[in-house]
Amino acid sequence: MKKYLFIAVALLAVLSCGQENKDVSTAVSFDDVLATRRSIRDFDSSKEVTEAQVREILIAAQDAPSWANTQSARYYVAITKEKADAVRELIGERNKQNTKGAPVFIISAFVRGQSGHFRGVQTNEIGDGWGAYDNGLNNAYLILKARSMGFDTLIMGMRDSDGLRVLLGIPENETVMAVIALGHRASDPVKPTRKSLDEIAKFF
């Protein structure tokens, strides 16, 4: 009897290990992240996002390339209810409604005079536009990492930059770019149609 009991316990252990390995091997793929990432305008207010999770997302955003590795992107995270509600008042009525269930807002900015510059001199006609470009790369990494972790985002350009600067102590030498709402979707939006590749790309 003891012999059969031992065999049963051993079999359960093997099956449990197999299940654990299965869970690890079924991690979301990059293609799945791209396919399921959406701009969400209906957030689930019952689900939270922790500071540790936001830190993990921002660490991933730091891996984005930047001009001469200047890393000029800066982030200001409104994670307490008080600060999140204050930010929500500075993004316009439409965005306020779209993000009423989002628990976290991430304000992205960049330091002027770094990307697109060499020894303080503008390198080409784009100038600080390269700072905005690099900030966009960081934000792309940010929203894709967030989606890989099961979160959802909405990037917003309509915002009161002066109000955000005062609220969050953003220095004058930084340009405020986007406000990114972070949370969990309450419903699945319809995927908008994309232009055909031939409309946006030319091969030579």
**Structure-block tokens of residue 135:** 């900030």
Give mean pLDDT, residues 26-53.
94
**pLDDT over 90 at 6, yes or no:** no
Q: Residue 184: what pLDDT?
A: 98
What's the whole-number average pLDDT of the chain?
A: 90
Sequence-distant (≥ 6) Cβ neighbours of residue 53 within 8 angstroms: 149, 151
Predicted TM-score (pTM) of this structure: 0.86
- The domain spans of the chain are 39-183
Question: Collapsing DSSP states into helix, strand and coil, what is residue 195?
Answer: coil
Q: Which fold has domain 39-183?
A: NADH Oxidase (3.40.109)
Please count the CA atoms within 13 angstroms of the CA of 161 that sit on its side-chain side: 13
Q: Residue 27: what pLDDT?
A: 75
pLDDT in tens, 121-156: 999 999 999 999 999 999 999 999 999 999 999 999
Which secondary structure element, helix H or strand E, spans residue 18, and what is its range? helix 2-25
pLDDT in tens, 169-198: 999 999 999 999 999 999 999 999 999 999
Task: Read off the amino acid at residue 125.
Answer: E
Question: Band of the pLDDT at 161, cuts 50, 70, 90?
Answer: very high
